[in-house]
Amino acid sequence: MKKIVVLISGTGTNLQALIDACAAGRINARVAAVISNQASALGLERAKTAQIPTALFIRRDFADHAAMDQAIGDYIEKIGADLIVLAGYMKILSEGFVTRFAGKILNIHPSLLPKYKGLNTYQQVLDAGDSEHGTSVHFVTPELDGGAVILQAKVPIFPGDDISDIEARVKTQELQIYPLVVKWFIDGRLQEIQGKAYLDGKLLPENGYADE
């Protein structure tokens, strides 16, 4: 059975969705370890409840970011992970780490990439007066939120909405699409080739898979 390693910094809701999907057999893999850079991350408790090994890497314990990422990478290699899933991991990965695991790292970002990279996407979309927002699953490259988009989900923004309203809609979609994309990868359907995303051997468009 293939192995997934999940990196988290917070509550781990997307982690839980992956744990549940693996347990139910919807993803033919197991979460082999959960890594965090925050000792207080609730996601670590979710992992322990599911009897999944956890590892904590704190920045102050290392000379620099590159050294920390080197240690994380060594830990992942010992596990023999087939896929690395970022699920609310609030630390920018070093170029060395991303290059080391090129084509094997997925991230989910709360915006319709390439719009609104980085932080505070909900405030950005409100400030812009947009009528929709969403979330994107993409491959990770050294460029922040710049890897090939695999799948997006859109949600409406209604007059009077605040950040919490939009965030709740986006989170509902995240919990559906992230396990699906992980399943595609584990089943060998999804690949990154020369910086582009391919599903079943077909190049995906800039905004990812669309069935219409």
Catalytic annotation, residues: 109
Write down the residue that tokens 């009528």 correspond to.
Answer: 131
Write down the residue that tokens 């920390």 correspond to.
Answer: 68
The C-alpha angle 150, 151, 155, rounded to 5 degrees, equals 150
Rg of the chain, C-alpha, whole Å? 17
- The CA distances from residue 100 to 72, 93, 103, 116, in Å, are 11, 11, 9, 27
The C-alpha angle 29, 110, 43, rounded to 5 degrees, equals 50
**E strand segments, the chain:** 2-8, 29-36, 54-56, 83-86, 105-109, 132-139, 149-156, 190-193, 196-199, 202-203
Write down the residue that tokens 């990422």 correspond to.
Answer: 69
CA distance 69 to 62: 9
